[in-house]
Each structure stands twice: as structure tokens, then as C-alpha cells.
Amino acid sequence: MSVLAAGFGLVIGALLGLVGGGGGILAVPALVYGLGLPLAEAVPASLVVIGLASAVAVAPRARREVNWRLAAVIGVAGTPTAIAGAVVNPLLDQRWLMLVFAAIMVAAGVRMLRGTDEAGGVCELPGGGVAWRRCLPRAVAVGLLVGFLTGLLGVGGGFLLVPALIVALGLRTPTAVATSLVIIVANSAAGFVPYLGASATGMNWSIIIPFAGAAIVASLPAGRLARRLTAATLRRGFAVLVLLVAAGVAAQTVTALLTT
């Protein structure tokens, strides 16, 4: 089981390093369907894995590509809603929650298949800097929404953050990828807060440790490789993977609903 967990971790770490998101999309289904954890345990486990791997993946991009001010705004806005999402999670039917998860993945995947403007936009000015008057309300809204989904679904939020940063805020793809990793770290930490204490002690660390360790190992070289690939290649590959995982999650969940 530890070897299988490490295998999943390598894939997820590579995905985070390459495209700055999507790791949570795979982590939760991998923990639930691949490693047999109940969703209530998979959610905090995923937050640990994604948060640690993202912190390592952002290292080679920290100086030149991260928009730290936007990351701070979105991260601060998402912190309270990430905690709220984690509190709400146990109150919902987990099977329907997984269907919602699949639907969100489909929406994100389809949007990422479309072309985007790499010349900057609402937030990122062509000459550098941030147009705060236009950007701030959108950045706060993105932070609130992604933060809540982070806590609710046990994902770092990168699969929503990257499209949101590119489409809604107008960041270039390299900046969006790097900035999303910083926000993922903040949201994952906030989303894990309600699980501290007895819940954390009871987590299956024999699975989480090799999972997280492998994700960390894979994320750094993947981040370096990403600089050699075009934004369109990374974006389309990410979108196809998201749609495939969404189909698998939906099929598993519908089957469970029909058999109960």
C-alpha cells in the first residue's frame, strides 16, 4: 500500500510542478478509490500532501514568477472560507459531494481547453505592476470562492485558481501557475486547521507520509521542466487529464448511488 501511495504521489507532485494545480483533483480520488480511505479521511490527507508539494514546487519560481501581492490578497480572502468549507464538509452527503466535485472538474477542464490571451489583462499590466482599482474586487472574489472549495473538497484549489488567474484576472500563464502554488499552500494550511488535534492523530500516516514524500520529490524537477514547455501544451494536457479523472469519479459515484 505504501508503494502504491508513493506512485500516486509521484504523479500528483509532477502535475503540481508542471501546471501549478490539479494535484487535489487526483489526490482525493486516489486516496478514496485507489487507497481505500473514506472521503472524511481523504480530505485532510489531501490537504497535507498538496500543501507540502506546492511549497516545494514554487521554490524555483518564487523570485521571478510569483505575484506576491495578489497571492497575499487571494490567500487572506480564502483563509476564513477554507475553514468554513472544512467545517461544512462532514455535514453533506459524501456521494453527492463527489458528483459536485466531478462537475466542477468538467467546467474547469473545458475552460482550460480554450485559448487564452498571454499579453496580460485586468490585473497584470503589460509594463508590469497591478491595476488594483479593477483587480482588487475580482481577486477577493476569487479568494473567497476558491478558499471555500479548498476546505469543502480537500483540494488546494489550483485546478480552479489557474483558470481564474488567467481568465478572470488576466495574468500570464507562467505568473498564474507560480502564484497559484503560493495560494494553494495558504489555502491548504487553512483548510487543515479544523482537523488539528484528535482528527490529525487518527489519520492514516502510513499512507500519507509516502504519498506526500513522493509528491515533494516529483514536484521540483517537474517545475523546472515546465519552463521548457509552451503554456498551450501544459494547459491542454492538464485539461484532458482533468476531464478523464472527472469521468472516472462520476462513474464510480453514480455506481455507488445506484447500488444503495
- Give the whole-angstrom CA distance, residue 30 versus residue 119: 36
Give CA 50 to chain center in angstroms. 7
Q: Is the pTM of this model over 0.85?
A: no
pLDDT tens profile 118-127: 555 667 666 6
What was the pLDDT predicted at 200? 67
Mean pLDDT of each 10-residue bin along the chain, 260 residues long: 88 80 74 86 86 84 85 89 86 81 80 63 67 86 86 70 80 82 85 75 84 89 78 75 81 82
Q: Where are the alpha helices (DSSP H) in the chain?
A: 2-19, 23-29, 39-57, 68-88, 94-113, 132-153, 158-163, 173-192, 198-201, 205-226, 231-258
pLDDT tens profile 58-78: 887 788 888 898 899 998 998
What was the pLDDT predicted at 140? 94
pLDDT tens profile 201-241: 678 888 889 999 999 998 888 877 877 777 677 777 777 87
Give CA 74 to chain center in angstroms. 14
